[in-house]
Amino acid sequence: MAAVVTTGLPPASGRSGLRGVLRSEFTKLKSVRSTYWTLLALLAVSVGLGAVISWATEAHWKNMSPGDQATFDPTQTSLAGMFFLGQLVIVVLGALVLTSEYSTGMIRTSLTAMPRRSVVYEAKALVFAGVALAVTLVASFITFFLGQALLSSTQHQASLSGPGVLRAVIGSAVYVTLCGLFAYAVGSILRHTAGAITAVIGVLFVLPIIVNVLPHAWHDAVVRWLPSSAGDAISATVGHPDHVFSGWGEIIVFAAYVAVLLLVGGWLFRTRDA
Amino acid sequence: MIEVRGLTKRYGDRVAVNDLSFSVEPGTVTGFLGPNGAGKTTTMRLILGLDSPNAGTVTVAGKRYEDLPNPMREVGALLDAKAVHGGRSAYNHLLCLAQTNNLPKRRVDEVLELVGLTEVAKKRSKGFSLGMGQRLGIAGTLLGDPKVLMFDEPVNGLDPEGILWIRNLMKALAAEGRTVFVSSHLMSEMEHTAEHLIVIGRGQLLADCTMEEFIARSSGQSVRVRTPQAELLAKAVAMAGGDSSYADGALTVQGLNAAQVGDIAFDSGVRLHELTVVRASLEAAFMELTGDSVEYHAAMPVPAVGRN
């Protein structure tokens, strides 16, 4: 049989590290269909649901009380699709980044090719965060402009130059991306797709419901520390309740949770048997 | 060159690998043998740093695996050909591996050509047959043109053509001066490929020697005789100091060589229909060595394995 050595391999230059692994992780993400389906679903549900809610509000406008009309937040309304369903989709994708490698066994192949695990962990997080932020920004702007167009007859539509509007549109994309990173971190701790998705949905969707039925004083004391409050606060442009931090303040609280979980997940990823 | 020193790995109460030490030298195929559950896969995982040992050290080319500057240029390892994402094409699977070690894209095409998967390169590996999956896994190990190759049970479930292909590939890789370390529980397979053997049972080293030494060390040879007068011959053999046992219409004689058995038959007027020297196979030698260390004994008697 022919010699296995071929001329195609130039001598090594330096040590393999983050740059190559970033390229590899990007290849991984874009070479499976589930990535396209989930990102497409993210766009579709965010824009679609945002449009439906904006359209329904417009249709309902004449029946709303003057008080409700005065406190109406057209920016938050147009972005609502990203919060109801968009973040759910990104949670699935974020969890899958690592858990799919465990369920297929690919993780053993990946770590044989690149045994420096912190590099692998960082590269996965960076590539996912970059892609998620790009797509959620697109979704956020599309859903905002579409929503405002649908709300035009109310004479209450927002424009990007309005107070807090640009912050809300960009911040919402940041929030949804953080949800994805949150799921990535939980996935690296649990190493199980369904478990990770369930846990994250529990925190983002179920926990606020539980907190909502608490007595008022308790609710007001706790609600600012909920991860999901970041989404409510960052997307709001009208009125601001006293019992939550500012939009970016809430984002910092959420980002701190995510950072801690990423550190724990990274430590487990480095030390556990693969 | 792989060096394993005092390696121990426990999973809970179970000791998978127990104070194991050996070296794997370049230029030959080294067979890594042991019954199922002996700790072969665990040892390989420890070499690759997939698991961390409770005690002991492993180095490849003098370094810990995770300290190798470009791991794929040093080691190509295939532990489980199914450890791929089935939704990814063969080409993209290899590309994402190559990129981690900054290997050029065209190397992916080369290894695909080498293992004969060029035509299905763009197909998702989900639909691959066992043999194709194995070829894809092997393509991955060759990407970095590595000095050390490790294969865990590479011929499991393959058809004869696939087995022959892998056997020749391993020999060719060793002939090029590479270190080839291949595990199997199929002794007959090793007999055709490996020049050196490392045998373990219950996580402990049982033998570390060349193939010839391993066979020579075993119980040696016996003589198979077919005759219509088996009972008569058995008595004569016993008087001459040999042992014999009768099964499946043939008498197996131990302790005497073929000439002696033939002479005894002639002297006692026994007609022979067959007289064959049965060389101890690797299988028999292996069974003898590992008989006490088999992890799970079958509760029911099973027919002897191999071709004795």
CA–CA separation, B166 and B253 (whole Å): 37
**Which segments of chain B belong to CATH 3.30.70?**
222-278
Confidence of residue B76 (pLDDT cuts 50, 70, 90): very high
User: Does the beta-carbon distance from B106 to A8 stay under 8 Å?
Assistant: yes
Which residues are CB-neighbours of B137 under 8 A, at least 6 positions away? B78, B80, B81, B83, B84
Q: Is the pLDDT of residue A43 over 50?
A: yes
**Which segments of chain B belong to CATH 3.40.50.300?**
2-217
Percentage of chain A lying above the pLDDT 70 cut: 97
* Residue B266 to chain A, least CA–CA distance (Å): 51
Predicted TM-score (pTM) of this structure = 0.86
CB contact at 8 A, B100 and B72: yes
Write out the CATH class of domain B222-278: alpha beta
Which of A3, A24, A106 has its CB closest to that of B99?
A24
Is A11 part of a structural domain of the chain?
A: no
User: Does the beta-carbon distance from B83 to A20 stay under 8 Å?
Assistant: no
Is A29 part of a structural domain of the chain?
A: yes
* Residue B44 to chain A, least CA–CA distance (Å): 11
CB contact at 8 A, B59 and B46: no
CB-CB neighbors (< 8 A) of A21 in chain B: 99-100
Interface pTM, i.e. ipTM: 0.89
The enclosing H or E element of B59 equals strand B55-60
Q: A100 — contact with chain B (CB < 8 Å)? A: yes
How many domains are there within chain A? 1
Is the CATH number 3.40.50.300 carried by domain B2-217? yes
Q: Which domain holds residue A117?
A: 20-60+67-271
Range scoring the smallest mean pLDDT among A7-11, A108-112, A226-230, B15-19: A7-11
Q: A111 — contact with chain B (CB < 8 Å)? A: yes
CB contact at 8 A, B258 and B242: no
Confidence of residue B20 (pLDDT cuts 50, 70, 90): very high
User: Does the beta-carbon distance from A15 to B69 stay under 8 Å?
Assistant: yes
Q: Where are the alpha helices (DSSP H) in chain A?
A: 18-30, 33-60, 66-70, 74-81, 87-104, 106-113, 117-150, 165-190, 193-201, 207-212, 216-222, 229-235, 247-271
CB contact at 8 A, B113 and A7: no
User: Does the beta-carbon distance from B92 to A1 stay under 8 Å?
Assistant: no
Q: Least CA distance to A25: which residue of chain B?
A: B96
- The amino acid present at A145, given as its one-letter code, is F
CB pairs under 8 A between A and B: 134
* Residue A269 to chain B, least CA–CA distance (Å): 11
Q: What are B201's strand-pairing partners?
A: B204
Q: A269 — contact with chain B (CB < 8 Å)? A: no
What pLDDT is stored for residue A27 in this prediction?
A: 96
User: Does the beta-carbon distance from A113 to B100 stay under 8 Å?
Assistant: yes
Supply angle C-alpha A149, A150, A156, rounded to 5.
80
Is A93 part of a structural domain of the chain?
A: yes
pLDDT digits over B251-295, tens only? 989 888 889 999 999 999 999 999 988 876 667 777 777 776 665
* Residue A21 to chain B, least CA–CA distance (Å): 4
Is A6 part of a structural domain of the chain?
A: no
What pLDDT is stored for residue A226 in this prediction?
A: 94
Burial class (CB in 10 A: 0-12, 13-18, 19+), B197: buried
Q: Least CA distance to B147: which residue of chain A?
A: A5
Is A12 part of a structural domain of the chain?
A: no
